[in-house]
């Protein structure tokens, strides 16, 4: 399909382990976003890439969270030394638009549901 693809769909980890979540955006999309969605809440912004440049990481909750998009396509969100409060659905979205262009929608993947035991 031509949509945003995220893997794995579900991830269970023990507290203290490191995890890596993958996002394949729609081909040709310049912008890529990561959001965190806690149970019963709306998604909250984590970080934003324009091509390979990470232009905004203001939403990352701690320095245990790290994201990269080295070739301007696939992105990985890494969480080190996971804690129980990291349990959430992590959503990736991509858009044709660059920052400052708001008329292009963000297309979301199905998310990765992360559970920390």
Question: Is residue 101 near other proteins by the rule CB under 8 A?
Answer: yes
- For 103-111, the CB contacts below 8 A with 24+ separation are 106/31, 106/33, 107/3, 107/4, 107/26, 107/29, 108/4, 109/3, 109/4, 109/5, 109/6, 109/23, 110/6, 110/9, 111/6, 111/9, 111/37
Query: Contact region for other proteins (CB under 8 A) — 19-27, 62-70, 72-80, 107-115?
Result: 107-115
Task: Single out the residue of 31, 82, 94, 112 in contact with other proteins (rule: CB under 8 A).
Answer: 31
Query: Contact region for other proteins (CB under 8 A) — 21-29, 62-70, 74-82, 108-116?
Result: 108-116
Question: Is residue 41 near other proteins by the rule CB under 8 A?
Answer: yes
By the criterion CB under 8 A, which residues form the site for other proteins? 4, 31, 33, 35, 40-45, 48, 56, 59, 91, 93, 95, 97-103, 105-111
């Amino acid at each position: 399909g031509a949509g945003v693809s995220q893997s794995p769909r579900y991830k269970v980890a023990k507290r203290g382990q490191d995890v890596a979540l993958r996002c394949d955006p729609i081909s040709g999309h310049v912008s890529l976003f990561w959001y965190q969605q806690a149970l019963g809440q709306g998604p909250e912004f984590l970080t934003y890439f324009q091509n390979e440049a990470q232009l905004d990481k203001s939403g990352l909750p701690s320095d245990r969270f790290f994201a990269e998009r080295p070739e301007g396509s696939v992105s990985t969100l890494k969480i080190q030394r996971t804690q129980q409060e990291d349990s959430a659905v992590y959503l990736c979205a991509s858009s044709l638009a660059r920052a400052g262009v708001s008329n292009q929608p963000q297309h979301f993947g199905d998310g990765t549901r992360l559970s920390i035991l």
